[in-house]
Amino acid sequence: MQTNLADFIRDSEEGKEADSILRKCVHCGFCTATCPTYQLLGDELDGPRGRIYLIKQVLEGVDPSSTTQLHLDRCLSCLNCETTCPSGVKYGRLLDIGRTVVESRVERPALERSLRGLLRSVIPYKERFGLLLKIGQFFRPALPASLKASTPPKVEAGEWPKPSHDRKMLVLNGCAQPAIAPNINAATARVLSRLGIDLLSVNDGCCGALSHHMSANEEALDFMRRNIDAWWPHIEDGAEAIVMTASGCGVLVKEYGHILRNDTAYAEKAAAVSDLTRDLGEVLANEDLSGLKPDLSRRVAVHSPCSLQHGQKLPGGVEGVLVGLGFSLTSVPDSHLCCGSAGSYSILHPRIAGQLKKRKLTALESGQPDVIATANIGCLAHMQGDAAVPVVHWINLID
C-alpha cells in the first residue's frame, strides 16, 4: 500500500512504525473473513482492512470523526486478523497508534468519558476493584438474574506453599484476577511446588493493558515501570521466569521491551522482563509432568483466548499440556473466534460482546463437556455466568 503520511507524524517513531506496517498491507482482504466484528456487523469499516484504511487516512491528514472513532472502538484487539494475514501486517501496533491519534483529536461525549474514566480508576487497582466486588458479592443473592450472572461468586484461594526449592519463578498478580479468582495463582504455586519450583508473589499490580487499550499511554507506562521495579530485585536474584496466568496480561508484558524501548531508564530492564515472561502453558510444557496425578474424569472444552493464540502466537499449547496429562478434550468449532470479553470491551460494547459470548458458548458446549477451561481471567469472568457448565482456569483442573 502506498503511503504519504502527514507532517504531524511522518518523522516520529510512531509515524515510521505505522508507515512500515501500512506498506506491508496489500489490501487482499483475507483478514476480513475471519474478523468477528465484520462477521457480526457486515460493514467493511468494522473489519481490519477497513480500519487500516481509516487509520491510514487519519495519519495522512484527514480529520477523524466520531464515526472513525466508533469503528476503531468496535475492534476487539483480538488479533485474529494478524493470524490470518499472509503479509505479516502488525495490525495491533497500527491500531494502537491510530487510536492514540484519534483519541487526541475527537472528544468523546461526557457520559462515555465518565464511564471510561470510572473503569480506568477502578479495575486496575486491586484494592478498589476487590472492595467493589465484595459489595457485589454480598448483595449477589438479591440481584436480578442479569447482574447476578456478571457478578462472580466468592472463591477461596487455598494454601500457598511455603518456599522450599532452589528454583524460583515470579508470577504476575495483576489487578482483577486476585479479587475474582485468587485460586488461579495459588493453584499455580501448588502445581509448580510439586514440580520443584517456588512461585514468588511480589507487590506488582495491573500490567497496564486496560489503560493501554484505552489510549491512556502515560498511565499504562506507569503501571509497566512499577511492575518492572517490583520484579527487578528478584530477577537479579535468579528468578527463572515471570509466569503469566492471564494470557491477556502476558501478551502485553511480552511487549514491555518494545513499548519502553526509548525509555533510557527502563529500556534494558523492560527487554529483560519481556524475555523472561512465559505463559503458564509454556512453563508446564517444558517441565516433567509425570508426577502430577490430576482427576481425569471430566471431559474438557478448552477456550483458547485470543491473547494466547493470536496475541502470543501460542495456539494449542494449553491443549497439548492437558492431553499430555491424559485429559479428554471435546472438539470446539470456530476456536479461533473471540468470546467478546476483550478487557473492558464487554462493558463498553455489551451488545456485540453478548452476541459473541452466545456464539462462543454454543461452540464450546457443542461437544457436551463437563467443564470449560480457559487461560484468561477476562474470558472466564465474561462467560461463567451464562455457561451451562463450570468455567475454570485450566490450572485448576491440574491442581
* Nearest distance from C-beta of residue 36 to ligand SF4, angstroms: 5
Q: What string marks each residue from 344 to 383 as x (binds ligand SF4 by CB under 6 A) or -? A: ----------------------------------------
Residue 178 CB, nearest approach to ligand SF4 (Å): 28
Rounded Cα distance between 280 and 308, Å, is 11
Q: Which stretch binds ligand SF4 (CB under 6 A): 5-13, 45-53, 166-174, 263-271?
A: 45-53
3-state SS, 210-232, equals HHHHCCCHHHHHHHHHHHHHHHH
Nearest to 49 by CA among 73, 25, 17, 78: 25
- Give the CA count within 13 Å in the CB-facing half-sphere of 313: 7
Stretch that binds ligand SF4, among 9-17, 22-30, 260-268, 361-369 (CB under 6 A): 22-30
- Residue 85's nearest CA partner among 41, 119, 35, 149 is 35
Check binding of 81 to ligand SF4 (CB under 6 A): yes
**Start-to-end Cα distance in the chain:** 50
Among 5, 49, 209, 274, binds ligand SF4 (CB under 6 A): 49
> Least distance in Å: CB of 220 to ligand SF4?
18
Return the C-alpha cell found at 61: 491528514
Using rule CB under 6 A, residue 23 touches ligand SF4: no
Of positions 15, 48, 182, 378, contacts ligand SF4 by CB under 6 A: 48
User: What is the torsion angle, in degrees rounded to the nearest 10, for the CA atoms of residue 23, residue 44, residue 215 and residue 64?
Assistant: 90
312 φ, ψ to 5°?
-90, 0
CB of 332 to ligand SF4, least distance (A): 18
Exactly one of 5, 9, 18, 25 binds ligand SF4 (CB under 6 A); that residue is 25
Q: Is 327 in the site for ligand SF4 (CB under 6 A)?
A: no
Q: Is 26 in the site for ligand SF4 (CB under 6 A)?
A: yes
Q: Give CA–CA dist 215/212, Å, rounded.
A: 5
Q: Which is nearer to ligand SF4, 50 or 317 (CB)?
A: 50
Stretch that binds ligand SF4, among 23-31, 184-192, 198-206, 215-223 (CB under 6 A): 23-31
Q: Do 299 and 282 contact (CB within 8 A), yes or no?
A: no
Cell of 53: 484504511
What whole-number distance in Å separates Cα of residue 306 and Cα of residue 250? Answer: 12
CB of 217 to ligand SF4, least distance (A): 19
Instruction: Choose which of 5, 18, 75, 172 interacts with ligand SF4 (CB under 6 A).
Output: 75
Residue with Cβ nearer ligand SF4 (25 or 249): 25
Nearest partner of 93 among 52, 34, 60, 124, judged by Cα? 52
Sign of the torsion formed by the C-alpha atoms of 364, 365, 368 and 370:
positive
User: Among the candidate windows 25-33, 127-135, 145-153, 239-247, which touches ligand SF4 by CB under 6 A?
Assistant: 25-33
Indicate whether 232 belongs to the interface with ligand SF4 (CB under 6 A). Answer: no
Is residue 210 at the binding interface for ligand SF4, with CB under 6 A as the rule? no
Stretch that binds ligand SF4, among 8-16, 24-32, 110-118, 218-226 (CB under 6 A): 24-32
Q: What is the four-CA torsion angle of 79, 83, 88, 89, rounded to 10 degrees?
A: -20
**76 contacts ligand SF4 (rule: CB under 6 A):** yes
d(C-alpha 175, C-alpha 124), whole Å: 5
**Cell representation of residue 297:** 474424569
The answer to whether 238 and 272 are in contact (CB under 8 A) is: no
Restricted to residues 100-139, the positions that interact with ligand SF4 (CB under 6 A) are: none
- Where along the sequence are the contacts to ligand SF4 (CB under 6 A)? 25-31, 35-37, 48-49, 51, 75-81, 84-85, 87, 89, 91
